[in-house]
């Protein structure tokens, strides 16, 4: 009898309950319960809660260093996603206890704080270690003859930045350096470089600024696209290690004001350079003439614009090196290709012949002034 009476009261209560209303005061345009808002109402309460499909649109930075920020924060993406999910659940609970107007004020404050934090993070991210990846956007169709583009910003790095094996970093035309004076032709180490590329890494759309000792170091089969050096110190680019069958590729970009070498080849294999512009230099390319471990090396040049330099390529013909040239514009360049007799004793290499040969591969028609 008691159960029957309770059931009757329950039925009367349900039957007499007012229909749930979906227009919630002070909510966003269209109401908290409007379709597509991602918020569902709690019937009869005037309170909405976030549905499983709702998402928070976080503000993004449009500044030039936002690319750097994403690169430096790459390893923390999973943690950020978990944190974002947890925050949404907490906000859903708070919405049930707070008015709609309070939620709007909270969202505004959160958006402002997020934007401020992102700006500060972006400005300092390049100095955090190490950079491994970023959004792509390189121009692989570059041609020689251009000038160093205007930078979209500057970044002084406190340590060499490493691009992990197989990863890509797009610098967004930011100018990077180390904030130190050039030490001339004193040999620097890996820790003095601006960027270090592990095997198979890619670097694009970057300007290497003047305040550095070493530019970019490569550890095998690297790719550089639209990379510029505003003022070369000891070397602009060095292949530190590379297997005999591997190739490093440089497309576009250029370098200026090199007292000696621009491109240094210490490892084995091949360096392929196209669409490159160089001015005021000693040697555009030099195969190491007295490394502890000497090996056969090859360089291929196509579409090069060179002006005011001593030698385009210096190779060790006694180790089987070759240099191939096509579509070369050389103005005020003394020697296109110089052969040397290299050694593994550390002695200064001696000069051999210069000009077209079975090692210096080009014809006079491949070179224009």
Task: Give which of 361, 191, 343, 187 is closest to 270, Cα–Cα.
Answer: 361
| pLDDT tens-place string over residues 306-350 | 999 999 999 999 999 999 999 999 999 999 999 999 999 999 999
CA angle 269, 274, 279 (to 5 degrees): 110
Q: Where are the beta strands (DSSP E) in 252-358?
A: 254-256, 261-265, 269-287, 297-316, 322-341, 350-354
Give the pLDDT confidence score for residue 298 in this predicted structure: 98
- CB contact burial 25-57 (16+ within 10 A = b; e otherwise): eebeeebbbbeebebebeeeebbbbbeeeeeee
Give the pLDDT confidence score for residue 146 in this predicted structure: 83
| pLDDT tens-place string over residues 128-173 | 334 433 333 444 457 888 899 999 999 999 999 999 999 999 999 9
Give the pLDDT confidence score for residue 141 in this predicted structure: 54
Q: What residues pair up with 311 in beta bridges, in sequence order?
A: 283, 335
Task: Give which of 196, 136, 137 is closest to 168, Cα–Cα.
Answer: 136
Q: pTM for the whole thing? A: 0.65
Q: What residues pair up with 88 in beta bridges, in sequence order?
A: none
Q: Tell me the pairing of strands 195-197 and 235-239.
A: unpaired
Output DSSP code: residue 155: E
Q: Which domains does the chain have, with CATH numbers?
A: 19-127 (no CATH), 154-368 (2.160.20.10)
Give me the average pLDDT of each 10-residue run along the chain (369 residues): 42 41 39 41 42 33 34 37 42 42 42 39 39 40 84 98 98 98 87 97 98 97 98 97 98 97 98 98 98 97 98 98 98 98 97 98 96
């Amino acid at each position: 009898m008691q159960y029957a009476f309770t059931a009757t009261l329950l039925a009367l209560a349900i039957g007499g309950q007012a229909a749930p209303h979906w227009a919630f005061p002070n909510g966003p345009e269209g109401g908290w319960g409007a379709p597509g808002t991602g918020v569902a109402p709690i019937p009869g309460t005037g309170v909405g809660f976030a549905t499983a499909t709702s998402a928070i649109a976080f503000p993004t930075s449009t500044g030039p260093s936002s690319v750097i920020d994403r690169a430096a924060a790459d390893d923390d993406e999973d943690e950020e996603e978990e944190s974002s999910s947890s925050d949404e659940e907490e906000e859903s609970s708070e919405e049930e206890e707070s008015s709609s107007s309070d939620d709007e004020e909270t969202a505004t404050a959160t958006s402002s704080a997020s934007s401020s934090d992102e700006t500060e993070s972006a400005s300092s991210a390049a100095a955090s270690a190490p950079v491994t990846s970023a959004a792509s956007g390189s121009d692989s169709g570059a041609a020689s003859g251009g000038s160093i583009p205007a930078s979209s910003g500057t970044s002084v790095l406190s340590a060499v930045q490493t691009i992990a094996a197989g990863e890509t970093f797009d610098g967004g035309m930011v100018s990077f350096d180390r904030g130190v004076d050039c030490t001339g032709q004193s040999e620097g180490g890996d820790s003095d470089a601006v960027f270090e590329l592990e095997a198979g890494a890619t670097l694009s759309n970057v300007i290497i600024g003047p305040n550095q000792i070493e530019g970019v170091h490569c550890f095998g089969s690297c790719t550089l696209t639209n990379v510029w050096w505003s003022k070369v110190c000891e070397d602009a680019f060095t292949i530190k290690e590379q297997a005999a069958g591997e190739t490093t590729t440089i497309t576009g970009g250029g370098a200026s004001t090199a007292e000696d070498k621009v491109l240094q080849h210490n490892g084995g294999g091949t360096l392929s350079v196209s669409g490159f512009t160089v001015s005021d230099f000693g040697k555009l390319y030099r195969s190491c003439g007295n490394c502890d471990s000497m090996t056969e090396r090859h360089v291929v040049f196509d579409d090069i614009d060179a002006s005011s330099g001593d030698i385009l390529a210096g190779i060790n013909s006694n180790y089987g090196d070759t240099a191939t040239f096509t579509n070369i514009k050389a103005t005020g360049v003394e020697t296109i290709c110089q052969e040397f007799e290299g050694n593994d004793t550390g002695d200064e290499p001696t000069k051999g012949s210069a000009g077209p040969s079975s090692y210096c591969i080009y014809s006079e028609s491949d070179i224009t002034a």
